[in-house]
Amino acid sequence: MIYPVILSGGVGSRLWPTSRALYPKQLLPLVSERAMLTETAIRVSGREGFAAPIIISNDEHRFIIAQQMHDAGLTPLAHILEPEGRNTAPAAAAAAAFVRDHDPEGILLVLPADHHIADVEAFQRAVGIGATLAGQGKLVTFGIVPSGPETGYGYIRKGDALADGAFEVERFVEKPDRATAESYLADGNYSWNSGIFMFRADRILEEMQAQCPEIARCAESAVEKGARDLDFLRLEAASFCASPSDSIDYAVMEHTKDAAVLPVDMGWSDIGSWSALWEVGDKDQAGNVLSGDVITHDTRDTFVRAESGLVATLGVENLVVVETGDVTLVASRDRVQDVKKIVEKLALDGRSEHQSHTRVYRPWGFYEGLDEGDRHQVKHLMVHPGASLSLQLHHKRAEHWVVVKGQARVTVGDDIFLLEENESTYIPIETRHRLENPGTEPLSIIEVQSGSYLGEDDIVRFDDVYGRDVKKPAAE
């Protein structure tokens, strides 16, 4: 049995401003109409010999991912929550320990959540070959047949031939400079390192116990002491956080004698920058990739993404223009690898635009800011069918709710009542209240807040169906 393990970590800072820490690139529909994580899960779901996917993510993204899986009609075998990111080796070790406890010879297929694969049939054929090698005890990595002298990827040099187009790994090499990358391309024995792996659960743990025993010990302990929380498995924090932070490549693959590489040509991209999205996108006759409400004139080889309003370009070429409502990025297409430097500056300046969008996702749905003043704030709330906000109160603000679409069940003090479209209610300061969607369609509410303080930390919860802390201040 093949157990897909989807690693959904990272913040995708080079795809800012669309990708942000609280809603990173793997959760966004960047290449198709579905989120990249969803595309990855669908790619390995519903196939004979495949278990349902195992997803590994951080705590903040758990409800967003759960909703996306639900919307896609997918039920993960497990959704494992890391208390903090420790790179790919501890995550893979935790997944292997989980699988080993159920199926010691189960084969892990470790997949980053944010990769694009155009030729899915080629990918599936490669997985079949990889499974055979992994079943024999090999630690398999998928190499990508290089299409050019790329300097943004690590490389793998193949050694002696194995069966079905696979090879022993002679060595891994770091990201090269341009001249070195050109020599690798001319040599013909090098592949890009995709970061996709296959190995038996017992075999990778055995290798980790030899190569990186502390990672193996901490991960196994974190799984053993982990706790169920709703539909999630929380790794035990003390054990997992004690693990060294390292990648599978550095911790295991560069040292093992059983590494195998399978070069594959499958239209792969890690979508690591805006230029990568330009490369895989559908181009017009002038070489432009356009998304959203965009007008161009005398524009060539440019990527434009408009998310909330009209973007017009005139007399430009080789640019990236991304508009998200609260941020507009304009960059030279050959400099987009440096977008993360802007993200770093935002963090140093104490700004929030690298953390969240104007739309903020919660387990019950989302809210987005519409207007804000000294003593007022206007938000749009969307509540999923059957979902409920916590029973809560605010010390320093009152709220007015107007139902725009759907039906709301409202608790205000001791009263519980229904609101239909175009009806409203008022929640005074220091009054317990709750908003629920009892219907089968999304509920849209306009919320007007007024008071001396409007911060998200002015919330005291008394009851919460999502297991969040109650009876103490916490962000809703």
DSSP per residue over 189-258, as a string?
-EEEEEEEEEEEHHHHHHHHHHH-HHHHHHHHHHHHT-EEETTEEEPPHHHHHTSPP--HIIIIITT-S-
One-letter amino acid for residue 225 of the chain: K
Q: Is the pLDDT of residue 474 over 60?
A: no
Reading the block at residue 373, the tokens are 């003043």
Contact call for residues 213 and 228 (beta carbons, < 8 A): no
Q: Read off the pLDDT of each residue in 312-334 and give the average, rounded to a whole number.
A: 97
Q: Is the pLDDT of residue 390 over 90?
A: yes
Contact call for residues 43 and 123 (beta carbons, < 8 A): yes
| Cα dihedral value 235, 239, 242, 247, nearest 10 | -50
CA distance 392 to 108: 43
Pick the residue with more confidence: 214 or 467? Answer: 214
pLDDT in tens, 8-39: 988 889 999 999 999 999 999 999 999 999 99
Q: Is the pLDDT of residue 216 over 70?
A: yes
CA distance 224 to 98: 9
Q: Is the pLDDT of residue 5 over 60?
A: yes
Q: Read off the pLDDT of each residue in 270-286 and give the average, rounded to a whole number.
A: 95
pTM, 2 dp: 0.89
Where does the pLDDT of residue 465 fall: very low under 50, low under 70, confident under 90, or very high at 90 and above? confident
pLDDT of the residue at 161: 95
Reading the block at residue 392, the tokens are 């809560």
Half-sphere exposure for 159 (CA within 13 Å, toward CB): 9
CA distance 172 to 193: 8
pLDDT of the residue at 475: 47
Reading the block at residue 318, the tokens are 């080789």
Q: Read off the pLDDT of each residue in 417-435 and give the average, rounded to a whole number.
A: 97
pLDDT in tens, 137-180: 999 999 999 988 988 899 999 999 999 999 999 999 989 999 99
Q: Is the pLDDT of residue 472 over 60?
A: no
Contacts of 342 (CB under 8 A, 6+ apart): 16, 329
Helix ranges restricted to H, 259-310 = 274-280
Q: Is the pLDDT of residue 131 over 70?
A: yes
Q: Is the pLDDT of residue 466 over 90?
A: no
Across all residues in the chain, what is the average pLDDT? 94
CA distance 331 to 329: 6
pLDDT of the residue at 476: 45
Q: Read off the pLDDT of each residue in 366-370 and give the average, rounded to a whole number.
A: 92
Q: Is the pLDDT of residue 469 over 80?
A: no
Q: What percent of the chain has pLDDT over 90?
A: 89
Report helix angle 36-43 to 62-71, nearest 10: 50
